[in-house]
Amino acid sequence: MKTVDINIINGKVWIGGQFISTSLSIDEGKIVGISQKNYLPLAKKSIDAEKYFVLPGMIDSHMHSRDPGSTDREDFFTVTCAAAAGGITTIFDMPTVIPPVSTVSAFEEKKELALKKAVVDFALYAGAGSDNIHQIQGLANAGAIAFKTFLILLSPDRTKEAWGVYVSNDGMFLEVLQAIQATGLISAVHAESNEIIQHYTKKLKSNGRKDIQAFGESRPEISDIEATSKALLFAKYTGARLHICHVGSRGVVELIRQAKASGQSVTSETTPLYLLLSEENLNDLGPSGLIYPPLRSKENQNALYHAFATGDIDIMNSDHAPYTKEEMKKGLDDVWQAVPDGSSIEVMFPLMLNEVNKGNLTLKRVIKSMAEIPACLFGIASSKGFIQIGNDADLVFVDMNAEKIIRGEELHTKQQMTQFEGWKVKGLPILTMVRGRVVADHGEIKEERGWGNFVRPN
């Protein structure tokens, strides 16, 4: 019998929706055997997982590397180190960089850049907007995991990122959805109403409002509801596969629930910020609590949590989008100068494991929302998201009894800050493996830049 690269023995392994006491064989980056250890082939190396749960590697299906163009904020090496330390083995990077990933040439350039820097595997979103309809099929052919479209204008400081990601009117939105539908890929939409936000922002500014509460007032819940209603209607008309990004409103959850009940192809996502924080935290968080869409009431937070726990919101991701500390400070005295920061890629999985330990979520729900559903939804389940023979050996060992205090200074992200500073969590990723290589062990990065592979939908 051939000698394999690695045997993982004595683990409690997540297979087929349950934990099984079994062992795994890995060769050339793939899972090649699942059996009791006495029946495993000889291996060059063995790893004893007796103390741990062995899970499929987590997938962060919405994050921002800031690379290229804004590497003072983050870059592909630092963000993938953070992912690895946080139990994430595959990331989906958004197209809002400089230049935006809205052309085939920009897509290929970013892929080559990421291949030189990434520690974990990665997929790339492509932009889809009024400017680049003619590029959409080519981007799909190049391997885009999905397409991202904004229904709002990006802030003035982000105009260089906006080409090919924004739709200027409803007619163009219909045409963009039709073009994406022809590729068979997902249309992921940032659903806020540009008109409503612009109206209330202008009104609040004219009244001299600069306080932190004015931010939420400028983006009322009806903004999310109106934009989501439009996206659902247009997607139904065109037959597009719709995905609503970063759901932060209970009203949006109800719209999506109704659309699913009618048979429409629609899914949604949320982030730890919406489940674990509300507008009541804004005074403590300051500018770092300002995100798009905004944090809302405690009642809204509770409703979102319930929707995620029950599966009405399909998947969890980080929407990691850091800014520099200097940029963050601009919002201290004038909320209109604030930037929509989110820094949770490394702490997202531990935060969810902590919720499992508190009895608020099941581990099955966390695995489904952060590994299995993203893998199936985006067409990579034949290699990612599941522990099964033939799949990549992307694994995370979890100790549900390990504890730590989240400290920004200990994170691998370039800015080393998070909205969850000082939170105590119980349940931690201990070892992260990507295609059979240990990339992180007890938070220490073990693999060099360039190990990450490009992932395209099957």
Give 404-424 pLDDT, tens digit per residue: 999 999 999 999 999 999 999
CATH of domain 58-377: 3.20.20.140
This prediction has a pTM of: 0.97
- Banded model confidence at residue 451, pLDDT cuts 50, 70, 90: very high
Above 90 in pLDDT, residue 159?
A: no
* Segments making up each domain of the chain, as ranges: 4-54+393-445, 58-377
List Cβ neighbours of 222 (8 Å cut-off, separation of 6 or more): 193, 196, 251
458: nearest Cα among 365, 359, 391: 391
- Banded model confidence at residue 155, pLDDT cuts 50, 70, 90: confident
Q: Which fold has domain 4-54+393-445?
A: Urease, subunit C; domain 1 (2.30.40)
| Identical topology for domains 4-54+393-445 and 58-377 | no
Q: Which tokens hold the place of 397?
A: 């060992």
- Banded model confidence at residue 1, pLDDT cuts 50, 70, 90: low
Which 8-state DSSP code applies to residue 26?
E
Give 96-147 pLDDT, tens digit per residue: 999 999 999 999 999 999 999 999 999 999 999 999 999 999 999 999 999 9
| β-bridge mates for residue 150, sequence order | 166, 190
